[in-house]
Structures are given as C-alpha cells and as structure tokens.
Amino acid sequence: MSWSHYRPLLSHVAGFISIERFQSLATEGKMLSLSWWENEYAVLQWKNHVLHAKAQQEGRESIFDFYKISIAHITREYSFKKDKDNV
C-alpha cells in the first residue's frame, strides 16, 4: 500500500490532527513527515496500530534505507501571514 493510501486512513485514528510530507531540496531522496496529534497518548496509540505496523514494514522493505522518529512538544509557536491589505 502506498503513502497515498495510508493518509486518508489516518483521519479515522483517534487523536490525529494532520500530516504533511516534505522533500529536501539539498539531499535527493531525503524527506520529512511532520504529523500533529492531540496528545502523547494518541501518538502511542498510532505507534501500536496495525496500519502503522504495516506502513513501517513496507517502509523498511521497499522505501527507506534509514529513518529516524523524533517526538517533540511545542513550547512556543509564532506565525505571520501577509494579506492583501498589508501589501
């Protein structure tokens, strides 16, 4: 099953908020998946979910030579959005 098949299934996982995938401009084949969850318990539930186990197995067998997972808490967040009135 490809990544595009897993993404819609995540919307049915309790505690899942969103996910995005980015590819490096500097290193070919390098990518970052950034997912947002309601809490650490939701992350743990996904970690132990059968669909996640299947995705990890597929990743190890046919997609990745290496991967690293980091779980972090946001301490502070800033944003800016220029709108047409600020131009």
In the prediction, which pLDDT does 36 show?
95
In the prediction, which pLDDT does 22 show?
94
Q: Which domain holds residue 20?
A: 3-86
Instruction: Indicate the number of domains in the chain.
Output: 1
CA neighbours closer than 13 Å in the CB half-sphere of residue 39: 2
Long-range contacts of 39-46 (CB under 8 A, 24+ apart): 39/15, 40/71, 41/15, 42/13, 42/14, 42/15, 42/16, 43/15, 43/71, 45/13, 45/14, 45/15, 46/10, 46/13, 46/15, 46/16
Q: How far apart are CA 69 and CA 67, in angstroms?
A: 7
Find the range with the poorest average confidence among 5-9, 19-23, 46-50: 5-9
Residue in 40, 44, 49 with CA at minimum distance from that of residue 10:
49
pLDDT digits (tens, 9 = 90+) for 25-49: 999 989 999 999 999 999 999 889 8
Where residue 15 sits, what CATH number does that domain have?
3.30.70.100
Considering the entire predicted model, what is its pTM? 0.74
